[in-house]
Amino acid sequence: MAMNTGLVYDPLYLEHDTGAHVENSQRLVETVKVLQDSGLMNRLALISPRPASIEELCLVHTEYHTGHVQRAASKGGEWLDGDTYCSPESFTVALHAAGGVLRGVDAIMNKEVANAFALVRPPGHHATPDQAMGFCLFNNIAVAAKYARAGFGLTRILIADFDVHHGNGTEEVFYEDPSVFYFSTHQYPHYPGTGAITDQGSGEGRGTTLNIPLPAGCGDAEYLRAYREILVPLAQRFKPELILVSAGYDLHWADPLSGMQLTVDGLAEIVGIIKGLADELCGGRLLLTLEGGYHLKALAYSIKATLEVLLGGPRSADPLGKPQVTYMPAKIDHIFERLSRDLA
């Protein structure tokens, strides 16, 4: 059994050129620097990405959508929506972002590594089957879940999404699919406006979507309650064979795009809860892929802390500490009471 932690990364990811956009290559440059300077990089098994094939992307996306992104890149780049830019290299990079996550799945399922983190961009969880949006071109995690099911015969996959924004694209892909449980904690109301508590899947997928919409101002305590009280029993009931995580670090208190108050330590504790579930339920099979996180230092140190958890500790000190301004504790008891009733 492999005990090491894999890191999917390639400098190619820096070539998705978004200019002064908040989702830019410095996110990965800063993170890699912190991992190298700390010596942590030397403890990771580097996994080189490959390009996803169009057939693999079309497990999730329409051929029109993949062609649209390819055409936009080949024309020299264009805005695909008000938030989402496609540069000349973006199609190639996005193929390697999705394909990098697939390489992570292979490495875990083939026991080359115990678990892995995909340090990729562009991110993915807002991309729907036929639309790029929210900085996302292709839905990396959704493609990975479909690939794991097709290639390894898995029948129960859990996707946990702790990005501050709801992963509307991921939810849409699996909304009627009972083989993939989508669990999301997110700031609500907030972009993209989806992820209501009443959205719980439909048809055969009824009950395999669970949203925890949290008000701005929530911090470590509120989020850890969500993962301990709701995700843990839910996962124990679902018994996943693989856990995938949309790891967005924009819920950190310093992030410019959110109103949440989490610390690096709190984020690491969330990862620790999820890793505990993977160890308990599916032989440790756990793959995280990067979504959001736009304060460079908070992002880099949160990823470092995540990797320390995946490696089994110990964790280094949180260099950013507690929030500089704290809000009144958000009233969230009603959310948990309702979800507890629904889960009963």
Pairing of strands 115-118, 5-8: parallel
**Partners of 50 in the β-ladder:** none
For residue 276, which amino acid is it?
A: G
Cα–Cα distance for residue pair 231/271, rounded to 1 Å: 12
DSSP code of residue 327? P
Establish whether 125 is a catalytic residue.
no
Residues, the chain: 344
Give kind and range of the element (H or E) at residue 332: none
CB-CB contact of 182 with 207 (8 Å): no
- The values of phi and psi at residue 292, to 5°, are -90, -175
Q: Which CA distances in Å does 259 have to 21, 77, 188, 299?
A: 20, 32, 10, 16
Cα–Cα distance for residue pair 5/113, rounded to 1 Å: 6
Please identify which of the residues 61, 126, 165, 252 carries the catalytic annotation. Answer: 126
Please name which of 262, 250, 260, 258 lies closest in space to residue 296, comparing C-alpha atoms. 250
- Strand, helix or coil for residue 344: coil
Instruction: Determine the distance from the C-alpha atom of residue 229 to the mean position of all C-alpha atoms in its chain, rounded to a whole number.
Output: 21
Give the list of residues 6+ apart from residue 296 with CB closer than 8 angstroms, or none: 26, 27, 30
Q: Which CA distances in Å does 48 have to 2, 9, 97, 101, 208?
A: 18, 6, 11, 10, 32
* Helices 63-74/90-109 angle, 10° precision: 130
**R_g of the chain, CA atoms, integer Å:** 18
- Strand, helix or coil for residue 330: coil
**Partners of 254 in the β-ladder:** none
The catalytic residue positions are 126
